[in-house]
Amino acid sequence: MFPHLKSERVNLQLLQESACRELVQQLDAIHGSKVIVLDEAMIGPLGLVTKPNLFRERSIDLLPLKPEMRFPKELSNIVYIVRPQVALMDQLVAHVKTNSQHGRQFHILFVPRRSCLCIKQLENKEVMGAFGRLEELPWNFLPLDADVVSMEMLHAYRDVSIDGDTTALYQAAIGLVQLQRLYGRIPKIYGKGVQAQLVWDHAKQLAIDEKSLYNGDKGAIDQLILLDRGIDLLSPLATQLTYEGLIDEFYGIRQNQLTLPAEHFPSYNAVNSSSTAANAARAAEESERLLSDRGQRKTLMLHSGEELYAELRNKNFNEVRMLLVRKVKEIQEQMNLNSQQQSVQEIKSFVERMPQMLEQKRATSDHTAIAGLIDEQLKSYAFNDDLAAEQEFMVCADIDKSSSYIEDLIARHSELHNVLRLICLQCAAASGFKERVLNHYKRELAHVYGLEVLLTISNLEKAGLLHAQTESRAYAVLRKTLHLTVDDSVEVNPKDISYVHSFYAPLTARLVEHSLKPLGWQSLKSQINNLPGPTFEDFQVPLIGIGGRHGGGGTPSETSLLHARRVVLVLFVGGCTFAEIAALRFLAAQEDNNVQFVIATTKIINKRTFLESVMGS
């Protein structure tokens, strides 16, 4: 169903299938005709685990959730799939009041968990009677790609650090246990950071209740690394320079889907219908059209199922340009062969290759269009100036003074979001501002953007993005010890992960890289002491002796571990960027690392979404 999720060792299709099964079970338990109403935040995730035709087979309609809704008379069941948010409950209450009639039942499927607050809210509004089933769909990690799972919780970092709501961490822990249930016990665990530690503590607690985890064989995943967003706040704020990262920053990729104005793709209608993979895209488009009334927009599916995108996504943009040129040439050559075919045999083989070639051509034309759009954006002065300022901070140039570039931006009343991003970036690189500098920025910001900006600033302070200087200069030290910035960076055919930001290697990815080395984590420990939060490690060995049962099978597989590719699950608590994913994929592609990554995150973030979620009050 989702071919792009398949992979050798950790087959994430299992995850998708189990999620889909749960949904089907819930739906089949409800008798009679039904309609599904989706919370805005659930439309994308649902597309990740199911195909529209699943619903068509059962003749179920999908509708987006709106405050005012009227349902046709003949429907006897209305099923809501929602996030457990109290605000949404009020909408449901309104629906029930306007639409209730004899024999009609309402059902709610909470994703990923039922919340007492929501149910209390329903009780208070005295509509509980109208609801039949209140169930949960335990979708914690949703498969995005063959090596990426995401919880699709954008506000995870904000919830924990600003609002003090640790639900997201608990969810992540449940997700970890789920993953272990599917893929077996993870023997080795490393982690860094407060939130990461909390996740692991929860997960351990949950696993104790479930003894089978300990008794089973070592699973497909050999190692777990939990990283807290809080240890590396610089990477999410920096501009990503990989193809995928740039697309995300400019246009936003939502659950693998990219939506762009169709005008940029002149020929897509004609080419689309002839290709096979486009069917997937079209199915997605259909569901999109079902659920929203976008006008002339084109939705592209972006995942490694598409050959060309898999090749391009993780490259530095400068390399993407070259690759696209080469692809276009290749296609031209292949097409030109046509005119000088000699034998019938050759023509035959050519015709056989036609669909494949057309597919390639379509993909290339799509991506040249996207690349063209990005290229335009990259040429703007503002982008390059911002980037230059960023890179100066990264190499710690003049980091303790207030930056005149930022001052100019403020004076020109440019976008608050970007200004704050640069300030936070400087703060992260300098490991905190001097009191005087911080106050200077605050004063300037309040002068220009009004007093309300103080609220935003206090949010940033709580999130640890802005703070006064601390004793240790973690970034400056680590920059040297871990080579976070590389002098002679190569963007084309890179040898080091730093290419994802042109010359800066995301700290998180670097940590993972070092931990792969023999005794890597031990030697890292002392180096990352400066970073906030505890460093921890743990082992889940098969428990021997409980009830006389043996774990069994543990040791032999442990020895063969040296030869087989290790599978490492990296969990980013609080989100990760496409650049970081690209960096990890790059590491996995290096022969001598002999490793394969599965990346788990609360949400894929970029400089914009991350800061916005923290800024908003």
Partner 1 sequence: YHFNNAIDSEGLESNLSLIGNSYSQGRCTVEAELCADTARLLKMQKTHANKPNGGESMSGLSIHDTMLELLRRGELKEAEKMKTDYKVPDRRFWWMRILTLAERHNWTELEKF
Q: Which residues bind partner 1 (CB under 8 A)?
A: 404, 407-408, 410-413, 439, 442-444, 446-452, 454-455, 458, 617
Phi, psi of 573 (to 5 degrees): -90, 110
CB of 416 to partner 1, least distance (A): 11
Instruction: Identify which of residues 457 and 604 has a Cβ nearer to partner 1 in the complex.
Output: 457
For the record, the structure tokens of 533 come out as 């939060």
CB of 464 to partner 1, least distance (A): 15
Give the end-to-end CA distance of the chain in Å, rounded to a whole number: 40
The residue to which tokens 């200004």 are assigned: 419
CB of 390 to partner 1, least distance (A): 21
Instruction: Identify which of residues 348 and 443 has a Cβ nearer to partner 1 in the complex.
Output: 443
Instruction: Identify which of residues 217 and 407 has a Cβ nearer to partner 1 in the complex.
Output: 407
CB of 446 to partner 1, least distance (A): 5
CB of 87 to partner 1, least distance (A): 18
Instruction: Identify which of residues 352 and 408 has a Cβ nearer to partner 1 in the complex.
Output: 408
Q: What angle, rounded to 10 degrees, do the helices at 381-394 and 416-430 form?
A: 20
CB of 168 to partner 1, least distance (A): 21
Instruction: Identify which of residues 15 and 416 has a Cβ nearer to partner 1 in the complex.
Output: 416
| DSSP bridge partners of 573 | 228
CB of 406 to partner 1, least distance (A): 11
Identity of the amino acid at 466:
L
Could you tell me if 229 and 356 are in contact, meaning their C-beta atoms sit under 8 angstroms apart? no
What SS3 state is found at 576?
A: strand
CB of 420 to partner 1, least distance (A): 15
Q: What is the β-pairing status of strands 188-192 and 535-539?
A: antiparallel
CB of 411 to partner 1, least distance (A): 4
For the record, the structure tokens of 163 come out as 């609002």
Instruction: Identify which of residues 250 and 405 has a Cβ nearer to partner 1 in the complex.
Output: 405
Long-range CB contacts (within 8 A, 24+) of 371-379: 371/243, 371/317, 371/320, 371/321, 371/324, 372/264, 373/250, 373/251, 373/260, 373/264, 374/243, 374/246, 374/247, 374/250, 374/317, 375/321, 377/246, 377/250, 378/246, 378/317
CB of 459 to partner 1, least distance (A): 9
Annotate 520-547 with DSSP letters as a single string.
Answer: HHHHHHHHGGGSSS-EEEEE-PPP-SGG
For the record, the structure tokens of 308 come out as 């060309």
Distance CA 193, CA 301 (A): 34
CB of 447 to partner 1, least distance (A): 4
Could you tell me if 109 and 26 are in contact, meaning their C-beta atoms sit under 8 angstroms apart? yes
Could you tell me if 245 and 212 are in contact, meaning their C-beta atoms sit under 8 angstroms apart? no
What SS3 state is found at 269?
A: helix
Instruction: Identify which of residues 163 and 376 has a Cβ nearer to partner 1 in the complex.
Output: 163
Instruction: Identify which of residues 201 and 407 has a Cβ nearer to partner 1 in the complex.
Output: 407
CB of 575 to partner 1, least distance (A): 24
Instruction: Identify which of residues 31 and 443 has a Cβ nearer to partner 1 in the complex.
Output: 443
Instruction: Identify which of residues 388 and 411 has a Cβ nearer to partner 1 in the complex.
Output: 411
Half-sphere exposure of 261 (CA within 13 A, CB side): 3
- Quick one: which of 4, 10, 45, 145 has its CA closest to 569? 10
The 3-class SS string of 483-519 reads: CCECCCCCCCCCCCHHHHHCCECCHHHHHHHHHHCCC
126-161 in b/e form (b: 16+ CB < 10 A) is: ebeebbbebbbbbbbbbbbbbbbbbbbbbbbbbbbb
Instruction: Identify which of residues 8 and 415 has a Cβ nearer to partner 1 in the complex.
Output: 415
Instruction: Identify which of residues 468 and 564 has a Cβ nearer to partner 1 in the complex.
Output: 468
